[in-house]
Amino acid sequence: MSIRERLSGNEAAATAMKQINPDVVAAFPITPSTEIPQYFSTFVSNGQVDTEFVAVESEHSAMSACIGAEAAGSRAMTATSANGLSLMWEMIYIASSLRLPIVMSLVNRAVSGPLNIHNDHSDAMGVRDAGWVMLFSENNQEAYDNLVMAHRIAEHKDVLLPLMVCQDGFITSHSIENIELIEDEKVKEFVGKYKPEHYLLNDKEPIAIGPLDLQAYLFEHKKQQADAMRNAKKVILDVAKDFEKMTGRKYSFFEEYKMEDAEAVIVCMNSTAGTAKAKVDELRANGVKAGLIKVRVFRPFPAEEIAEALKNAKAIAVLDKADSLNACGGALFEDVVSAMYTSNIHVPTVNYVYGIGGRDTTTDDIGTVYEDLQEVIKTGNIGNPYRYLGVREGK
């Protein structure tokens, strides 16, 4: 029997962490993720968990402490946002290269500068190729569910990579929604105990962690990381099947919303999917064959599966809540068009950078994208594929 509750996204993340009861949590406060370690620290203080909570002096130290704890044989978690993730930069790569399955809740926020505390995906996109598994969450329920599944994925013997669960700052992190929680004992059973094969505190197997790795071996070790990321695809689906058996909630690499006969299709991530679904419903009621792909698993990127899902569309718009500043589209757009091209699928596809710094994106804004796609379908002319949605030109 699930437990119905009303929680913000941050509360949902902290609740999942409480139920997991990790060995170590190390964190430093930064808006809008501050509430996650704040809530969790009360669980520690109240004796609801026996986690060692480490209040560090910076986000760099938070990830360093998690690396030390995980290398020693402990299950470690943290949370951060934006500039905090940037300060972790060096340690983010070290965590993945050491194959340490740390789990982080990343509450997405614009990276400075200029200073902005509101939502876009520039923090996550900045580390998209750092070797972390990356799950995105449309709402509070998904943020909670993704965290419950996270350790099973990251700690699998064929993966052993760190994992971050992303949700949109303020939009979901501070908004209260109805949510179905899983009973504590079921979460503990589902997640299981962490039993690393190699760890520093194992006196029967003396090892070194993080030694110098030069020309003779680094290439092979990086290939092993890439192989582990490919392995994660199967593990993610296997864990999702077990999760569905426990909760009835089904997850995959992405959600296909009204895609059966869709001609005009949007691809996006996180909370924008909810806005797009509302517009799809409205357009469907008026006879427009609109559809949506909501990407949940961004790393590893499900290239073949997304290409297959998009092959019957007549025009596609990929929405990026971060600009790569490369003059040729955002990160999600690049991955989608690369996936389609390598699968020999050719559908007119355009990119929209939107929502930078928390700029509101309404159903009317999404409606203009579908209008543009209908024009592409009618004329066959893409025009400029690199577009902006909701920006005031000349400002």
**From CA 179, how far away is CA 185, in angstroms rounded?**
18
Tell me the CATH number at 385.
3.40.50.920
- Helices and strands in the chain, H and E counts: 13, 15
Q: Which two tokens stand for residue 95?
A: 């965590």
- pTM for this model (two decimals): 0.97
Stretch 218-243: mean pLDDT: 98
My answer on whether 155 and 272 are in the same domain is no
Kindly report, residue by residue over 243-254, the tens digit of the pLDDT. Answer: 999 999 999 999
Residue 355 has pLDDT above 90, yes or no: yes
> pLDDT at residue 54 above 80?
yes
37 in any annotated domain: yes
Same domain, 216 and 283: no
Instruction: Give 3-state DSSP helix, strand, coil % of the chain, rounded to 5.
Output: 40, 20, 40
Q: Could you tell me if residue 197 is inside a domain? A: yes
Question: Does residue 394 have a pLDDT over 80?
Answer: no
Q: Are 254 and 305 in contact (CB under 8 A)?
A: yes
**Residue 46 in domain:** yes
Helix axis angle, 35-45 relative to 9-20, nearest 10°? Answer: 40
Matching residue, tokens 């929209």: 352
What's the CA gap between 189 and 243, in Å, rounded? 11
Calculate mean pLDDT across residues 53-82. Answer: 98
One domain, residues 162 and 287: no
Does 98 map to a domain? yes
Structural domain of 70: 3-247
Place 211 in a pLDDT band, splitting at 50, 70 and 90. Answer: confident
How large is the average pLDDT for residues 105-133? 98
- Do residue 192 and residue 318 come from a single domain? no
Do 277 and 217 sit in the same domain of this protein?
A: no
Q: Which of 230, 247, 264 is the last residue of a domain?
A: 247
Domain count, the chain: 2
pLDDT at 395 over 70: no
Residue 395 lies in a domain: no
Q: What is the mean pLDDT of residues 131-150?
A: 98
Mean pLDDT of the chain: 97
Condensed to tens digits (0 to 9), the pLDDT of residues 266-279 reads 999 999 999 999 99
Whether residue 48 is found in the same domain as residue 137: yes
Task: Indicate whether 97 and 51 sit together in one domain.
Answer: yes
Helix boundaries (H) for the chain:
9-20, 35-45, 59-72, 82-87, 89-97, 122-126, 140-154, 184-191, 218-247, 272-285, 303-310, 331-342, 363-379
Nearest by Cα to 255 from 234, 276, 235: 276
- The answer on 271 and 330 residing in a single domain is yes
Q: How far is CA 342 from CA 67, 144, 284, in A?
A: 37, 34, 31
- Count of other CB atoms within 10 angstroms of residue 83: 19
Looking at the structure, tell me whether residues 61 and 195 fall in a common domain.
Answer: yes
| CATH number of domain containing 237 | 3.40.50.970
Say yes or no: 154 and 33 in one domain: yes
pLDDT value for 1 = 64
Q: Looking at the structure, tell me whether residues 239 and 260 fall in a common domain.
A: no
Tokens of 196: 């690393």
The identity of residue 323, as a single letter, is D
**pLDDT for the residue 321:** 98
Query: How many whole angstroms separate alpha carbon 120 and alpha carbon 97?
Result: 27
Provide the pLDDT for residue 393.
83
Would you give the end-to-end CA distance of the chain in angstroms?
53
